[in-house]
Amino acid sequence: MSVTVTHPVTDAAPTRRRPRRSRSSPGRRPLTGLLFVAPTGVIVAGLFLVPLAILVYMSFTDWPLLASPTPDGVDNYRHLAHDDQFLGAIGFTLLYTVITTVVLFAVAFVLVAISNSRRRGTRFYRTAFFLPYVVGTAAASTMWWVDSSDSLGVFNRILEAVGLIHKPVGFLETPGKALFTVITLVVWKFIGFQVLVLLVGVQSIPTELYEAARVDGASTLQRLRYITVPGLKPTLALLTVLSVTGSLLAFDQFFVLTHGGPDNSTVTVVLALYNKAFQSFRLGDAAAEAVVLLVALILLNVIQLRLLRHRENP
Amino acid sequence: MTATITPTAEAPPVRPRRRRGAGETAARAARGGLFHITSSVLAVAFLFPLVWALLNSFKSKDEANQQPPTWFPHSLSIANYRSLAGFDQGIGTYLLNSILLSALTVLLSVVVCVLGGYGFARFTFRGKTLLFGTTLGILMVPYATILLPLYIVLGHLGLQNSLIGLALVLVMFQLPFGIYLMRNSFDAVPRELEEAALVDGASTVGALRHVSLRIVMPGVVTVALFSFLTSWNEYLAPLIFLNDGSKYTLPVMLVNIRYASYNIIDFGALQAGVVVAMLPCLVVYLALQRFYVNGLVAGALRG
């Protein structure tokens, strides 16, 4: 690499050399180092640690958005235990998370098989699968909402054209259909990322392993079972964490596509939290919900990291 | 994408040549045909909603709101884009806000991550591990939960309802990935290169700017690309932090169109809005694809 880098400061004659600087290597000057990371430190402290502390404090107060807060002990947490919308939201979010994660993996494996092919045109297929991922969730949800309309939507039009249905389906009418429609959106929108990460994982498995297995007469299925799957374990674990975390925090797609309906049947935890804070203006209760969510996710991440580490050094 | 992903996993370098019979050749062709048929159907399914929104956005007002929808526009019209211009503050305002927000976020993320990544890679100082760990810890904390207190912090800083405040929040969420990626990038640059520049009289910043920064440029582009996509598409944070209609960004505008007139929604305008919101992302991604994939491999997956 050094060959390609042209010397940028050749005009600096030795007479202008600054001995103080040249004598010490950059690593030896802690103050300069601190200056470089200062912006990071300021942002992390001011916009991450301070808000985190405020969040915990908020959760122990009665805090109407526009008035001043008053401490109320663990009342907010007590409210949560009897809050039907919050409890319902937890149940619904868990259901959504499980279905989404399973469906995403199932579909992703088909798309990875295609994307990993050596055939011509594979590059085009890969790009097609990935493109929806760069479209924003709000735009994608709006698109899906238009397309799933019973009168003007193209989904009904297609199903009618191929003869699967005879009269339009209300894709957002019942809780079940609404959940189904959101999941189709999520698969379409997010699977490209999953495919890309899996592809990187598959291709990082050494080719020699497959060679050796072939020489030993292993079948395709055996190679999949004994080489591909074990080799992909860290990738699969990472994707599970990302998919579970992402689903537990789902907001945009529900806010735009179903708005929690019909009859509040598709209210996720973050949507409930948003409603509590910015519709009911009860920041204390919302903060308590956020703390519960935060603790749950940190626990989940810690467990997952432990499992990952365990797998790496058995 | 081709830069890093080459389909090699199943490719044997040497495969014993065999004479293939006619039956075998036919079976291979059939498998190839089946592969392409399945893949094409799936690819069309993935691209269709994007193309559909584009086509519909150019239909005339009547045609865009016709039931059932027509497959292809009978005539091309920009009426839907015209009505976007007349929606509330006008699409120009929202577009400008989105551009401003993205530019601010990209610029700040790049500066903070380059400086921070360099600091973490090249220097030792007290609290280094702690700060680095805390920065990565941002990933552990769900984004949505911290928006609530951030709303209050920004209020105290006088940055509520401001694109600058919003950009700072988005930068904060870019830090774990960006700092990690830039630190790794600088780690890969040999120190000797910079030391040579220092001996020749360059300042620390000069050495960083003229020597290392050129080498880590791909990492910088990746950080910029990720920041752009995030800030351009972000919906929840602008929804919470901005309460003045003239500051709204495109995603907020889109959802507002959808809820603006509950019974007489203009489907044509809605789809034109979708196109305006998604087109920059598609173009930028297609142009910078390889940085996206390389960045993902270097940053997200090595960790």
Per-residue pLDDT of chain A (314 residues; tens, 9 = 90+): 333 433 444 444 444 444 444 444 555 577 888 999 999 999 999 999 999 999 999 999 988 877 788 888 888 899 888 888 899 999 999 999 999 999 999 999 999 989 988 888 899 999 999 999 999 999 999 999 999 988 888 898 899 888 888 888 888 889 999 999 999 999 999 999 999 989 888 888 888 888 888 888 888 888 888 888 888 887 888 888 888 888 998 998 998 888 887 888 899 999 999 888 888 888 899 999 999 999 998 888 888 777 766 655 44
CA B168 to chain A, closest CA, distance in angstroms equals 8
The DSSP code sequence of chain B is -TTT----TT--S-----PPPHHHHHHHHHHHHHHHHHHHHHHHHHHHHHHHHHHHHTS-HHHHT-SSPPSS-SS---HHHHHHHTSTT-HHHHHHHHHHHHHHHHHHHHHHHHHHHHHHHH---TTHHHHHHHHHHGGGS-HHHHHHHHHHHHHHTT-TT-HHHHHHHHHHHHHHHHHHHHHHHHHTS-HHHHHHHHHTT--HHHHIIIIIHHHTHHHHHHHHHHHHHHHHH--HHHHHH--SGGG--HHHHHHHHHHHSSSS--HHHHHHHHHHHHHHHHHHHHHHHHHHHHHIIIIITT-
Longest dimension (CA), chain B: 79
State how far the alpha carbon of B134 is from the alpha carbons of A41, A44, A295, B184, in Å: 9, 8, 16, 17
Tokens read off for A294:
């935060």
pLDDT score recorded for residue B20: 59
Q: How far is the C-alpha of B218 from the C-alpha of B110, rounded, in Å?
A: 12
CB B271 within 8 A of CB B80: yes
**Identity of the residue numbered B231:** S
Query: Of A48, A114, A138, which is closest to B255 when you measure between CB atoms?
Result: A138
The per-residue pLDDT for range B96-144, each reduced to its tens digit, is: 999 999 999 999 999 999 999 999 998 999 899 999 999 988 887 877 7
- Residue A101 vs residue B11, higher pLDDT: A101
B22 φ/ψ angles, rounded to the nearest 5 degrees: -60, -40
pLDDT one-digit tens code per residue, B267-281: 888 899 999 999 999
Q: What is the DSSP letter of A26?
A: G
- 0.90 surpassed by complex ipTM: no
Is A26's CB within 8 Å of B191's CB?
yes
The DSSP line for B163-198 is HHHHHHHHHHHHHHHHHHHHHHHHHTS-HHHHHHHH
Closest by Cβ to B171, choosing from A43, A118, A297: A43
The Cα–Cα gap between A157 and B68 comes to 7
**Residues of chain A contacting B35 with CB distance shorter than 8 Å:** 114, 117, 119
Please state whether the peptide bond connecting residue B68 to the residue before it is cis, i.e. omega within 30 degrees of 0.
Answer: yes
Instruction: Report the alpha-carbon angle A233-B145-A188, nearest 5.
Output: 50
pLDDT at B1 over 70: no
Q: Provide the pLDDT for residue A181.
A: 94
Residues in chain A: 314
- CA of A18, closest CA in chain B: separation in Å? 6
Q: Kindly report the number of other CB atoms within 10 A of residue A5's CB atom.
A: 17
Please list every residue in chain A whose beta carbon sits closer than 8 Å to the beta carbon of residue B10: 116, 118, 210
Burial A210-227 (b: 16+ CB within 10 A, else e): beebeeeebeeeebeeeb
Q: How far is A136 from chain B (nearest CA, A)?
A: 4
Estimate to the nearest angstrom the gap between the alpha carbon of A24 and the chain centroid. Answer: 44
Residues of B with Cβ-Cβ distance to A121 under 8 angstroms: 36, 39
Q: What stretches of A116-257 show up as alpha helix (H) in DSSP?
A: 122-134, 137-147, 154-161, 175-203, 207-215, 220-223, 229-248, 252-257
Using CA coordinates, name the residue in chain A closest to B62.
A152
Give residue B11's pLDDT band: very low, low, confident or very high (50, 70, 90): very low
Cis peptide before A262 (omega within 30 of 0): yes
Q: Is B88 left (phi over 0), alpha (psi -120 to 50) or beta?
A: left
Site of tokens 């956005």: B57
Residue B261's alpha-carbon distances to A19, A180, A200, B2, B106, in angstroms, are: 71, 26, 46, 46, 35
Q: Is A274 helix (H, G, I), strand (E, B) or coil?
A: helix
Query: Token pair of B19, please?
Result: 């004479």
- Res. B261: pLDDT tops 80: no
Distance, in Å, from the CA atom of A100 to the CA atom of B17, rounded to the nearest integer, reads 45
Question: What does the alpha-carbon distance between residue A218 and residue B116 come to, in Å, rounded to a whole number?
Answer: 49
Strand partners, A71: A61
Mutation to test the A interface, candidates B200, B216, B253, most A Cβ within 10 Å: B200
Q: Is residue B253's pLDDT more than 70?
A: yes
Lowest mean pLDDT among A178-187, B70-79, B106-115, B242-251: B70-79
Task: Indicate yes or no: CB of A51 within 8 angstroms of CB of B195.
Answer: no
**Nearest residue in chain A measured CA to CA from B271:** A143
- Chain B residues in contact with A142 (beta carbon < 8 A): 254-255, 258, 270, 273-274
Is B6 a residue whose pLDDT tops 50?
no
Distance from CA of A176 to the nearest CA of B (A): 23
Residue labelled with tokens 């199932």: A106
DSSP string for A51-74: HHHHHHHHTTEE-BTTS--EE-TT
Contact A146 B271 (CB under 8 A): yes
Between positions 81 and 140 of A, the ones with CB within 8 A of B are 110-111, 114, 116-119, 121-129, 131-132, 134-140
Contact predicate B185/B219, CB 8 Å: yes
Classified as helix, coil or strand, A282 is strand
pLDDT higher than threshold 70 for residue B44:
yes
CA–CA dist B266, B175 (Å, integer):
39
Q: Which of A117, A128, A294 sits opposite B7 (nearest CB)?
A: A117
- Please say whether the beta carbons of A132 and B46 come within 8 A: yes
In this structure, what token pair is assigned to residue A6?
């042209």
Find the helix packing angle between B163-187 and B91-122, rounded to 10°.
Answer: 40
pLDDT at site B302: 52
Interface residue of B110, B123, B250 to substitute, partner A, most A CBs within 10 Å:
B123
- Which long-range contacts does B207-214 make (Cβ < 8 Å, 24+ apart)? B207/A26, B208/B118, B210/A8, B210/A9, B211/A5, B211/A8, B212/B118, B212/B186, B213/B114, B214/A5
Q: What are phi and psi of B8, to 5 degrees?
A: -120, -15
